[in-house]
Amino acid sequence: MAQQDLYRVLGVDKKASQDEIKKAYRKLARQYHPDRNPDDASAESRFKEISAAYDVLGDPDKRKEYDRQGANPFAGANPFGTGAGGPGGGFEAGSFSDILSNLFGSARGGAGGAGGAGRATPQPERGRDLEAEVRLSFQQAVDGAQVSLSVPTSSMCGTCHGTGAKPGTTPKVCPRCQGRGVENQGQGLFSISQPCSMCGGSGAIIEEPCPTCQGTGAVRTVKNYKVNVPAGVREGSRVRLAGKGEPGRRGGPPGDLYVITHVDASPVFKRKGDHLEVEVPLTIPEALRGAEIEVPTLSGSKRLRVKPGTKHGTVQRLRGEGPPKLSDKKHRGDIHYRFVLDVPDHLTREQEAAVEELSKVMNGNPRAKLFAGGAGAAGKAA
């Protein structure tokens, strides 16, 4: 599955909502489930692909990681915990109703025996990812910089230590779901599981909420960070700070913090991918005769040789003088110098006289080739 497009496996667009992904999986699971296709090896193989694809795309956090990497970082994982991804081989996906139960995030089994009716302990949840924005000067983006950042986030309530219950009390087991966090609803032949409507899927009821956090177990706060922005970032770059997002629930790992960079424009350099471009004016004599001119670089200046007869728009390149490449820290981009002719808006008498003398020796019609054999010649022939 590592090289497959998981969206294509489920037949959905990359911008599909979680509900659309769930519906597509449900339809395909019904079509290819081995219970409906006995002795059909191709249907079993297709069902494994569909299940593995939904295991990633059906989980918002896994889907985000898959979209970011452009490949499946969870290849080889088995959404059922046994069977196709296990060392014993074979297929042990369970009944069709179990597959549909997976659509709503319920966990089969538990302490209640083979029927799975026992109480299940709510699982730890990973904390939410956060985003923050920083503004950098052009030079800071090229060289890298350390910037201060204040991020609104949440942290564990110090009064209830994250339980959400008033000190001296504890959350009670939800009477509706018996602590499982899900409740089943029968729909024809199938049993559909969904988050418990009484406890919201937590498996517990807080009868006396904590007065500080109002039962949420977390309080809003602001965290201050010193962020080392790497050299070579550009407008819209995302710098990931692992584990600096919101804390996880029930002992789950924290999320990540993504710092989005905004870079001020430079009056001289323009960013072109990994490279920079500089517009360099030339006088008409410099373009005609050639010249040695001084041009700016990121670390100072250098001299370039302009060839005689240089045309407007000609580009000359200095290799390795551009910004560091984020994808390859050992190499830098280039600087492209684009020559443009500097034509004055008004001429002095001396300049007019010089241009007149020049026109006498620089005679000829440079536009003649536009009409040679073209529409102009055809018009004359007519």
Single-letter amino acid code for the residue at 121: T
Q: Is 61 annotated as a binding residue?
A: no
Q: Is 41 annotated as a binding residue?
A: no
Residue 314: φ, ψ to 5°? -65, 140
CB-neighbour burial class of residue 232 (10 A; exposed 0-12, middle 13-18, buried 19+):
buried
CA distances from 307 to 40, 282, 288, 321, 341 (A): 73, 12, 8, 21, 14
Contacting residues for 367 by C-beta, under 8 A, at least 6 apart: none
Q: Are 149 and 259 in contact (CB under 8 A)?
A: yes
Contacting residues for 70 by C-beta, under 8 A, at least 6 apart: none
The tally of CA atoms less than 13 A away on the side-chain side of residue 249 is 12
User: What sign does the CA torsion over 342, 348, 352, 357 have?
Assistant: negative
How far is Cα 373 from Cα 382, in angstroms, rounded to an integer?
13
- Based on its alpha-carbon atoms, the radius of gyration of the chain, rounded to whole angstroms, reads 33
Number of CB atoms found within 10 A of residue 270's CB: 14
DSSP state of 290: -
Q: Are 32 and 11 in contact (CB under 8 A)?
A: no
- What are the tokens at 314? 């000609």
Q: Is 177 annotated as a binding residue?
A: yes
Single-letter amino acid code for the residue at 59: D
Q: Is 278 annotated as a binding residue?
A: no
Q: Is 199 annotated as a binding residue?
A: yes
How far is Cα 221 from Cα 227, in angstroms, rounded to an integer?
19
- Within its chain, how far is the Cα of 382 from the centroid? 62
Contacting residues for 380 by C-beta, under 8 A, at least 6 apart: none
How far is Cα 139 from Cα 144, in angstroms, rounded to an integer?
8
Q: Is 194 annotated as a binding residue?
A: no
User: Could you tell me which of 255, 249, 18 has the C-alpha nearest to residue 132?
Assistant: 255
Q: Are 318 and 335 in contact (CB under 8 A)?
A: yes
Binding site for Zn(2+), by residue number, is 157, 160, 174, 177, 196, 199, 210, 213
> What residue numbers does the annotated binding site cover?
157, 160, 174, 177, 196, 199, 210, 213
